[in-house]
Amino acid sequence: MAIFDQDAEQMDREELAQMQLERLQATLTRVYKNVKFYKKKFDALGFLPEDCQSLEDLARLPFTTRHDLARAYPYEMFAVPLREVVRIHSSTGSPGHPIVMGYTSRDLRHWAKLAGRILTAAGVDRDDVVQVTLSYSLLTSAFGIHYGVELLGASVIPSGPGFTNRQIQVMRDYRTTVLVSTPSYALVLADEMEALGVDPKDLHLKLALLAGEPWTEAMRAEIENRLFCAALDHYALSEAMGPGVAGECAAHPLPGMHLSEDHFLPQVIDPATGELLPAGELGELVITTLTREATPLVRFRTGDLVRLFYEPCPCGRTLARLSRIQGRCDEVVIVKGTNIFPTRVGQILRAIKGEEPAYQLVVGREGHLDYLEVRIEVREELFFDKMTKQREMLQEIAHQLAQGIGVQPRVKLVEPGSLNRAQETSPLVIDLRQGVC
């Protein structure tokens, strides 16, 4: 099996640790000099970048959270002047403000190369035709993979999301060999193929490269059976870069996705105490970027619950393996590949109605598609005699929420007092997607 960057992906682990330390020292110096947020944090601890003499010293530094990044909107976390930034992405759904990520030319080159590693590890080569059904938008979703495919010299079809019927036509006529999508959309495609009488065995698909939402081994088996191709997992973290952070090797002889540790330094912590956990233990993934120029991150809490494995992999890569994402440990809920902060829903409702009604998010799965239902308690101002006016108001709320969180919700009014959140009898989020974590 081919390896995209043998020097890096098969590096001796002691050599890797030395490289990580040098890159970490450079990153700490850069953020201390250029990002007020970090200067303040380091100064408060009496910590200077040169105090970092070993990788263990990193644990002395505080975490960076999504709230910190949102508060820095739009450019406060940028470590380079805007004229050096050649790309800007942002995430939706964070509280208050989106999170803005910048990329220098060098950042983009790294991004393409790291996506190239993931694609090569998954078995993609220059003879492949890769159909990318992820979103081409402010989100990072499709971009890293897109440039990785081009870098490998394979053909990329930027079909973007939706238009399922047309996706299948393209897949058949253009002889797509690799599908890049969310796991649930892969199953939507399988459903549509059945409805259209298209036999996946008559297509040329050999691989579905999937990410963007929690999924299970059972889903993998179903996708592999129904699309008649292999299904592999990869890890995208938009705040750190986007897709290309970690990915499974083709035969996945051992569980987990190889993490590009020469660019991203991982730690796994107990989410309750912040203490470091030993290798193999389940905890929250914390990432420090080692090469990002525009928006470097020090100890970023991802909210993703994972395990890290360091045993050598038969594929020959020495990079650690990140387990399938086992769940989330912050307040973020992922629907259709979009991170949603439930408190953001409250803010939007407050903006519409002047004060915040009691509300609840219910996330479920119908067929293979996730849905989001927002339940709102009926109150004086939400209760109209005329049903038509109430319907208009619900449509307006749904529209405003879709604009603000990036996912179209169903909005449902419920009886006064039924949510009763003040007494904590009703959780803010109910996730009905059994077994997704």
Chain residues binding Zn ion by CB under 5 A are 249, 313, 315, 317
- Give the burial string for 258-273 (b: 16+ CB within 10 Å, else e): bbbbbbbbbbbbebee
Phi–psi pair at 117, nearest 5 degrees: -60, -50
Give least dist CB 315 to Zn ion, A: 3
Give least dist CB 317 to Zn ion, A: 5
- Between 89 and 321, name the residue whose CB sits nearer to Zn ion: 321
Give least dist CB 207 to Zn ion, A: 16
Phi–psi pair at 138, nearest 5 degrees: -60, -30
Give least dist CB 218 to Zn ion, A: 22
| Closest-CA residue to 294 (of 99, 24, 41, 84) | 84
Tell me if 176 sits within 8 A of 204, measured CB to CB.
Answer: yes
Burial class (CB in 10 A: 0-12, 13-18, 19+), 218: exposed
Tell me if 254 sits within 8 A of 279, measured CB to CB.
Answer: no
- Between 253 and 278, name the residue whose CB sits nearer to Zn ion: 253
Give least dist CB 320 to Zn ion, A: 11
DSSP 55: G
- Between 249 and 374, name the residue whose CB sits nearer to Zn ion: 249
Give least dist CB 249 to Zn ion, A: 3
- Between 117 and 263, name the residue whose CB sits nearer to Zn ion: 117
- Between 168 and 245, name the residue whose CB sits nearer to Zn ion: 245
The amino acid that residue 331 corresponds to is: E
| Torsion of the alpha carbons at 181, 67, 105 and 49, rounded to the nearest 10 | -130
Under DSSP, is residue 65 helix (H, G, I), strand (E, B) or coil?
Answer: coil
- Between 315 and 329, name the residue whose CB sits nearer to Zn ion: 315
Give least dist CB 230 to Zn ion, A: 14
Burial class (CB in 10 A: 0-12, 13-18, 19+), 114: buried
- Between 186 and 315, name the residue whose CB sits nearer to Zn ion: 315
